Amino acid sequence: MKAHEAWAAPIVFLLAFGESLAFFSLLLPATAILLAFSGLIGASGLPFWPIWAAAALGAILGDWVSYWVGYRYKREIGNVWPLSRNPGLLIRGEAFFRRWGTASVFFGRFFGPLRCVMPLVAGIMAMPSLPFQVANVLSALVWATGILAPGILGGRMLTG
């Protein structure tokens, strides 16, 4: 891994971006891959902060793009696969958003199926950009820590 350390941050960025991007997150098992990858990173002794920043930036950008898609296409997005096959996802996301508002964007990142729809729903519901971005950035920072730290610490403990 050390020989290819320059690839660690870009790979983590792309995985986090895909995990946060509407539609792709339904198809990409990035959480499991990131957890496994973080163990390899920890075992190789790569620095934590650049990889953490890559994960956070990927997650922020993925949600930002998803928000824009929802804002731009509104409810029409529900006609696009894979949402067209799972109309309940948007319905549950809207109910969650109506109940929790801005907090739904923050907490949605940590709950599997909601992760892919909350930014879309926030855009569809025309949530103002600033509160969305605050919730997006804060949740991405917490998520990046939670997804990477256990594997990195575990990997470092195993290799001594």
Give 56-91 pLDDT, tens digit per residue.
999 999 999 999 999 999 989 888 887 788 888 889
| pLDDT value of position 2 | 57
| Residues comprising the chain, all counted | 160
Confidence label for 97 from pLDDT (cuts 50, 70 and 90): very high
Give the pair of three-digit tokens for residue 56: 């956070």
Confidence label for 156 from pLDDT (cuts 50, 70 and 90): low
Q: How far apart are CA 147 and CA 145, in angstroms?
A: 6
Confidence label for 36 from pLDDT (cuts 50, 70 and 90): confident
| Helices 8-20, 112-124: crossing angle, 10 deg rounding | 70
Question: Vertex 32, ends 155 and 114: CA angle to 5°?
Answer: 135
| pLDDT value of position 35 | 83
| Helices 129-159, 112-124: crossing angle, 10 deg rounding | 160
Other beta carbons within 10 Å of 129: 15
Closest CA to 2 of 55, 53, 42: 42
Question: Vertex 21, ends 16 and 27: CA angle to 5°?
Answer: 90
Higher-confidence residue of 159 and 34: namely 34
Is the pLDDT at 52 greater than 90? The verdict is: yes
Tell me the whole-structure pTM to 2 decimals.
Answer: 0.90
Q: Please report, rounded to a whole number, the percentage of residues in the chain having pLDDT higher than 70.
A: 94
Q: How far apart are CA 118 and CA 97, in angstroms?
A: 7
